Structure 1
């Protein structure tokens, strides 16, 4: 029996992102993100109820400022005391794990989807999902972009506007495009 596009995505294989089942799942995530964004803060609390229910795992004390966007939500794991500031985007075609006490500044973007390099295959909307892992006590400055397949070690700092194209060691500080280590 042939694998569904969702099964291919979850297995880390090439899949078509314009699949009807995946479209329904993205629509569910859009609705949850919309609810989170339009609820009055006192009513929403730290996270809108539909958004919290969508996540793979989410500690009780996680806070996500509105506006927030995710592709599916089902691949997002948020440990205790995580904070996502306004405008964060997580394109979670693969697991995204954010460790305890980590903070993401405004407009941080995390991408798991990587598109095919062959232009003919790209026309077929093929992409592959690569996980992103962010350790404990990481600080990611506003406007930073984390590319597919990246791991960021505990206690690392990602400078504002950095484009992270390679793994970041525990305790390292990286800045720039592409992000490079600097002394603390």
Structure 2
């Protein structure tokens, strides 16, 4: 593992134009391109292919094409993961997604950060922050999740939201910037009155 890759995974500034990083990026993009060429009916081939792309993938993933990511190996999804068309994950840092997560169309998860100084941007300086999504989360269409965000378990994120800060467990959150509008009160299913 080269030094720039280690810096990237640790959230430190790194050189995004490093030849080894670019080589890994293009290798992953070729694998994603191949995945997106598979027919929707080729379920076994699609599952095999997505499991090769992602760093970890639980049982019964369903990732509709087109799907886009940078490296893939930094993405970890749990069991029964579903994403609709045009999921984009810029996974310069680790992206962890729990079990039974549903993601609507045109959702973007961005871990990568760029300097505001144009000279630093021009030379390829970047850094990245983790994204974590808990179990039983539903993310509506056209949601953008920014670097460093954690979305708790059992949350719903309304369509079109831009998630800039952490969302606690059992929340319904919407807007730009996304904010909690309701907390869920979960009923005990075994309650016998």
The answer, yes or no, to whether TM exceeds 0.5 is: yes
Runs of 4 or more consecutive aligned structure 1 residues displaced over 4 Å after TM superposition: none
| Cα deviation, residue 55, structure 1 | 1.4
For structure 1, list consecutive stretches of 5 or more residues without a partner in the other structure.
none
Cα shift at 1:48: 5.1
Distance 1:26 1:127 in 2: 15
In the alignment, the residues of structure 1 paired with residue 45 and residue 173 of structure 2 have an alpha-carbon distance, to the nearest angstrom, of 29
For 1:91, the equivalent position in structure 2 comes to 90
Partner of 1:179: 178
* Cross-structure match for 2:164: 165
Aligned residues: CA RMSD: 1.5
Give 1:19 shift. Answer: 1.4
Q: Note the 1:15-94 alignment, pairs <5 A.
A: 15-45=14-44, 47=46, 49-94=48-93
**DSSP 3-state at the match of 1:41:** coil
Q: Is the 8 A contact 1:29 1:51 kept in 2?
A: no
Which residue does 1:131 correspond to in 2? 130
Q: Secondary structure at the match of 2:34?
A: helix
Cα separation, 1, equivalents of 2:59 and 2:170: 26
Q: Is the contact made by 1:39 and 1:48 (CA closer than 8 Å) also made in structure 2?
A: no
What TM-score do you get using the length of structure 1 for normalisation?
Answer: 0.93
Contact kept, 8 Å, 2:158 with 2:174, in 1: the verdict is yes
Deviations 1:21-77 (A, max 9, x none): 111111111111111111122324473534321211101211100100000001000
TM-score by length of 2: 0.89
Question: How many angstroms does 1:97 deviate by?
Answer: 0.5
Q: Helix, strand or coil for the counterpart of 2:21? A: helix
Farther-moved stretch of structure 1 (119-128 vs 91-100): 119-128
Structure 2 unaligned regions, length at least 5: 184-193
